[in-house]
């Protein structure tokens, strides 16, 4: 919960454990320090460079579009009508813009996936992501760790294999002790195509964070904080 409190200084958390023995009761409270919240993550469609064969099959099963041309246009980002027509032309003589997308054979789906991996597409937008922001990251570290010095950084959106991502980092010196932890899953913000703020699905925009400690020879302790937001 402390990791969550660092990355969300605009939220208040209360944990209570009530035991049969009153002396064993536990109450932990993380208070709010700001009302400034990150922008809400946006719903998005899949980027063609980021899908696999199983996902293409699932999209074909779930789509309401009738033709292959409509399917490519409306189920993926960065594929307009003219681009979709060129892609279909490169798929081979067994494909046509007006063919039923539901009639695609497994071999044809494999061909679509191969072309998605080979073709060039515009990068997806990083505007769908919801970074904590340098202000909130800095405020959260100060609120929970009370360091002597702190520095934070929030990078611009980058892209890897069709997935936009943003890296945020913070480092502080001194302050409260923090138990060493490995990387841990924090929040999965949004499922592609529908709002789902705490989805257990793997195809979500998600947030990862980790805190680690570096001991010096003296009493000074350094805290490193990494926040990765991606789709």
Q: Which domains are present in the chain?
A: 48-118 (1.10.8.50), 126-230 (no CATH)
Do you know the residue count of the chain?
231
pLDDT for position 177: 60
Report the C-alpha gap between 32 and 8 in whole angstroms. Answer: 8
What is the per-residue pLDDT across 150-199, written as a single tens digit (0 to 9) for each? 999 998 999 988 899 999 988 888 876 655 443 333 433 334 444 333 33
What is the per-residue pLDDT across 4-23, written as a single tens digit (0 to 9) for each? 888 888 999 999 999 888 88
DSSP track, 77-135:
TT--HHHHHHHHHHH-TT--TTSBGGG--HHHHHHHHHHHHHS--PPPPGGG-----HH
pLDDT for position 199: 33
Report the C-alpha gap between 133 and 39 in whole angstroms. Answer: 10
What is the per-residue pLDDT across 22-75, written as a single tens digit (0 to 9) for each? 888 999 999 888 888 888 888 889 999 999 999 999 999 999 999 999 999 999
pLDDT for position 74: 95
Give Cβ neighbours of residue 83 (< 8 Å, ≥ 6 apart).
none
E strands in 109-203: 149-154, 158-160, 163-173, 184-191
Two structure tokens written together for 39 = 């922008």
What is the per-residue pLDDT across 133-153, written as a single tens digit (0 to 9) for each? 899 989 998 888 888 889 999
pLDDT for position 223: 81
């Amino acid at each position: 919960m402390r990791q969550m409190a660092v990355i969300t200084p605009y939220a208040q958390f209360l944990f209570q454990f009530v035991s049969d023995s009153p002396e064993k009761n536990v109450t932990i409270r993380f208070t709010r320090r700001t009302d400034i919240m990150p922008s809400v993550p946006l719903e998005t469609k899949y980027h063609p460079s980021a899908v696999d064969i199983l996902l293409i099959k699932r999209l074909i099963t779930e789509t309401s579009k009738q033709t292959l041309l409509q399917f490519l246009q409306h189920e993926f980002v960065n594929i307009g009508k003219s681009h979709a027509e060129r892609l279909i032309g490169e798929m081979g003589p067994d494909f046509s813009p007006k063919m039923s997308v539901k009639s695609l054979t497994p071999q044809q789906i494999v061909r679509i996936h191969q072309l998605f991996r080979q073709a060039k597409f515009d990068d997806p937008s990083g505007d769908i992501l919801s970074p904590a922001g340098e202000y909130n990251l800095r405020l959260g570290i100060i609120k929970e760790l009370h360091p002597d010095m702190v520095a934070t950084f929030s990078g611009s959106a980058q892209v890897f294999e069709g997935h936009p991502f943003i890296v945020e980092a913070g480092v502080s010196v001194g302050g409260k002790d923090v138990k060493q932890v490995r990387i841990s899953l924090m929040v999965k913000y949004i499922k592609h195509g529908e709002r789902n703020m705490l989805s257990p699905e793997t195809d979500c925009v998600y947030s990862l964070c980790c805190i680690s400690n570096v001991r010096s020879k003296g009493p000074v302790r350094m805290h490193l904080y990494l926040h990765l937001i991606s789709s």
